Amino acid sequence: MNLLTVNLLFSTFVFWVMARIYVLPKLPQLQPKAVLLPILLLHAFRHLGLMFIAPGATHAGIPAQFAYPAAFGDLLAAVLALMAIAGVVRDATGSRRLVWIFNLEGTLDLAAAITLATLYGAPALMGPSYWIPAFWVPALLVTHYITFVVLRKYWRGAAQPTHQEVQV
């Protein structure tokens, strides 16, 4: 097992522990918007995945078969997160669908990037971009999971509060 795999798994575990302590127990009491907006804002920074194709951010020779799909998959996730934010903030019709699209694409992108990095030996050439899969990806994985929980269990309709929410 290489060091990046250890970092990825250990960081994911730590983020999972944080979610189990601080987020998941509170979900029944929170509005979906209150949970999803911070998650979507976090994912809006996925444009940083473009570092995998930025000169100097990785070592020369990083496999293009990993770098380009990872970079542009992250950029697409960031754009979808921003679109979902706009819908969620306005309680727009279709905002739940936008969050689903973002969450599916973002999750599949991370799974593909992890797979491609492993297949093509990218970790040894990540250089300063190493922090992305060692720290950033685990946070993204756990927040994708939380988003799936909210979408499936706590956000049933477009712009409709759940039964646990307080009406003012």
**Virtual torsion, Cα 56, 61, 65, 69, nearest 10 deg:** 0
Rounded-to-integer distance, Cα 9 and Cα 83, Å: 30
Report residue 68 CA to chain centroid gap.
Answer: 18
* pLDDT at site 156: 78
Rounded-to-integer distance, Cα 143 and Cα 149, Å: 10
Residue/partner pairs of 3-10 with CB below 8 Å, 24 or more apart = 3/123, 4/117, 4/123, 4/126, 4/130, 4/133, 4/134, 5/118, 7/133, 7/134, 7/135, 8/114, 8/133, 8/134, 8/137, 8/138
What are the residue ranges spanned by the domains of the chain? 35-52+63-154
* pLDDT at site 163: 41
Instruction: Spell out the alpha helix ranges (H) of 19-132.
Output: 32-43, 64-89, 95-119, 131
Rounded-to-integer distance, Cα 4 and Cα 118, Å: 10
Split the chain (168 residues) into runs of 10 and give each run's mean pLDDT.
89 98 97 97 97 95 98 98 97 96 98 96 94 96 98 76 39
* pLDDT at site 1: 66
* pLDDT at site 47: 97
Q: Please report how many Cα atoms fall inside a 13 Å half-sphere around the Cα of residue 45, on the Cβ side.
A: 9
Q: Are 50 and 117 in contact (CB under 8 A)?
A: no
pTM assigned to the model: 0.90
* pLDDT at site 157: 64
